[in-house]
Structure 1
Amino acid sequence: MSSSSPPSSVQEAREALGKRLREIRKDSGLTARALAAAAGWHESKSSRLENGRTPPSDEDIRVWTRICHAEEQAADLIATARGIDGMYVEWRRLESAGLKRVQESVLPLFERTVWFRFYQSQVVPGLLQTEDYTRAILNTVVAMRQTPDDVEEAVAARMNRQRILHRGGRRFAFLIEEWVLRSIIGTHATMADQLGHLIGVTTAPALSLGVIPMGVVRGNAWPAEAFSMYDDKQVSAELVSAGLTVTQPREVAEYAKTFSELAGIAVYGASARKLITSAIAALG
């Protein structure tokens, strides 16, 4: 998905902001043409802003509210617009300063979260990865996106972040699709070590690992993009070209429902370990 085609949640937020701008203009008694003339814009710019097709700059908002005699709303509107920009961040931009910084950037979020829920349809979740598995993934990221090569520092940062698993007062729920177990990342030895590590974590307290078997009747629990839930306050979803941050309560609730439905068709404990050991055996 390209940055010119944002996901629906981002577009809905832009449209909601545009609607607020339209209401401010109408409350002032101005037509779109009159506002554009006062601002020195082409009339089409006002239309694009009001319909959410063009995200407003800080200066656009200041001009809009000044002309409409609603300067007191400028700060709130600017904060809203900046929040929308932060919802959808291209990986290339996020990773431009190196992968280590990306790993460290989520530490404050992890520190304040009590209930973690992770669904992975692509790779083993980061908190459950071995060093070699992480190294193989990040080397691929460097090759694909041509990011700065600080893989070893980034691996160390991710391993350091895993210490949160052993702190008290937190709960962790992981869901993975069975094909994650069957997708060979790195070498066969890397994958075998990773799968063995997963067997070990299935007995950890305050942590559950569910595996959704291939061939299970899906019902409403369709495969989804990989996502992480932090309490009921924030969701981070992984798209091909970007990361999406969701904080709108209605949307967070939709992800919570999806997680619950996926959890309902997963297997746990001995049944999950059986699928993992089968995947190890398939490595030869």
Structure 2
Amino acid sequence: MSTDFQQARIALGLRLRELRTEGALTGRQLADRLGWPQSKVSKLETGRQTATQEDLKAWAAGVGQPHAAQELAARLRVLESHSRSWRRQLAAGHRPVQDRLTVEYERSTVMRAWEGSMIVGMLQTADYARHVFGAYADLHRSPRDIEDAVRARVQRQEALYQPGKQYHIVMWEAALRALVGSPAVMAAQLDRLGSALGLNTLSLGVVPFEASLKLPPANGFWIYDERLVIVEDWHAELWLDQSDSVALYRRVWEVLAGAAVYGSDAHKVITRCRRALGSA
């Protein structure tokens, strides 16, 4: 969890406590009024739990200040602009998440990506993407709109052929070897990477296992036009638009990109990963 996110959640909790005390209510009294366990009131006020829009509306009404619901909702939107939980994002399935990302791709010109664990979405085959979405739907117990999500991801890849766009993608060799789906699915995926090396809009680098790394290959992320970084974690995405955060991730990307090989050397790494799959 990011420091910015936690600070924003604590600030929201302090505001909730302020509204409760203004209403001359104890935590127990408010909990009883709302039909909540007292621990929920305590966790919300101390920033140990993230409120929902429904929680905030109920809180405002419970303390006798329903007009405060709009203010609290605005605070929550600011908080969620930094951290967007998968539980909430995937409540309606994977397709809406893909559509929101497409907006960022469309409004951006230069994009940089690092991925150490799987093939980046912009270069995934439909079968590979299908296995990824299925695995995450199982993990998060979200609606299984797998085919809609796959279509959205594949459609977004058309931007790879748009003049004026630039994609600088770097992946660790581990991402090319992780067996996502069957060996046949992975073989087709590696063939796709090999063919993508010739795209004019794409600079594709691979960090080989034998490369010396100045930084550990941690979380994957995308940088959009030096204005936004999206970082994926198991529980949430972080959307970071502060200039110092964007600059930090740009430095991380430069270090990792500096350890990568490109062109024919990248093709050699892809080929050896493909051969490791045998006759698949």
What TM-score results when the alignment is normalised by the length of structure 1?
0.78
Q: Structure 1 150/51 Cα, relative in aligned 2: closer, same or farther at 3 Å?
A: closer
Gaps of 5+ in 1: 1-5, 22-31, 67-73
> Residues of 1 paired with 2:102 and 2:44: CA distance?
35
C-alpha displacement at 1:199, in angstroms? 0.8
The residue number in structure 1 matching 2:90 is: 95
| Structure 1 residue 38: Cα displacement | 3.4
Alignment of 1:11-90 (within 5 A): 11-14=6-9, 37-42=21-26, 57=56, 79-90=74-85
Distance 1:261 1:167, change over 3 A: same
Question: What corresponds to 1:223 in structure 2?
Answer: 217
Is the partner of 1:118 in helix, strand or coil? strand
Q: Where do residues 123-134 of structure 1 align in structure 2 (5 Å cutoff)?
A: 123-134=118-129
CA 1:256 to 1:76, structure 2 compared with 1: closer, same or farther past 3 Å? farther
Sequence identity percentage: 34
1:277, distance to aligned residue in structure 2 (A): 0.1
Q: State how far apart, in whole Å, the 1-side matches of 2:255 and 2:13 are.
A: 34
Instruction: Answer yes or no: is 1:197 the counterpart of 2:192.
Output: yes
Q: For the structure 1 residues 7 and 50, does the alpha-carbon distance in structure 2 shift closer, same or farther, using more than 3 Å as the test? A: same
Q: CA deviation at 1:142?
A: 2.5
Displacement of 1:125 after TM fit? 0.5
- In structure 1, the residue matched to 2:266 is 272
| Counterpart in the other structure of 2:36 | none
Q: Aligned partners of 1:129, 1:13: CA distance in 2, in Å?
A: 35
Letter of the aligned partner of 1:142 in structure 2? A
Residue 281 of structure 1, CA deviation: 0.5
- Shift of residue 48, structure 1, vs aligned partner: 8.8
User: Residue 281 of structure 1: which of 269, 275, 278 is its match?
Assistant: 275
Aligned partner of 1:238 among 227, 232, 237? 232
SS state at 1:204 partner: coil
Q: Which residue of structure 1 lines up, in the alignment, with residue 33 of structure 2?
A: none
- Aligned counterpart for 1:116 among listed residues 102, 108, 111: 111
1:26 alignment counterpart: none
Q: How has the CA–CA distance of structure 1 residues 76 and 166 changed in structure 2, closer, same or farther, with 3 Å as cutoff?
A: farther
Once structures 1 and 2 are overlaid, which stretch shifts more, 233-242 or 50-59? 50-59
From the superposition, tell whether residues 50 and 141 of structure 1 become closer, same or farther in structure 2 (CA, over 3 Å): closer
1:183-241 alpha-carbon deviations (Å, 9 max, x no partner) = 1111111111110110111121121111111132212x221211111111111111012
Amino acid at match of 1:116: M
Q: Which residue does 1:149 correspond to in 2?
A: 144
Cα gap change, 1:261 to 1:84, in 2 (>3 Å): same
How far 1:103 moved relative to its partner?
1.5
Deviations 1:90-139 (A, max 9, x none): 21221121222221122221111111111111110001011111111112
Determine the C-alpha separation between the residues in 2 that align with 1:51 and 1:93: 21
Specify whether residues 48 and 95 from structure 1 end up closer, same or farther in structure 2 by C-alpha distance, changes over 3 A only. Answer: closer
How far off its partner does 1:246 sit?
1.0
Aligned residues of 2:115 and 2:219 also touching (Cα < 8 A): yes
Shift of residue 257, structure 1, vs aligned partner: 0.9
Cα distance in 2 for residues equivalent to 1:8 and 1:195: 38
Distance 1:123 1:215 in 2: 18
CA RMSD of aligned residues (A): 3.3
TM-score with structure 2 setting the length? 0.79
Question: C-alpha separation between the residues in 1 aligned to 2:123 and 2:11?
Answer: 38
Corresponding residue pairs, total: 261
Query: CA–CA distance in 2 between the matches of 1:236 and 1:88?
Result: 10
Pair 1:183-2:178 in alignment = yes
Matched letter for residue 93 of structure 2: G
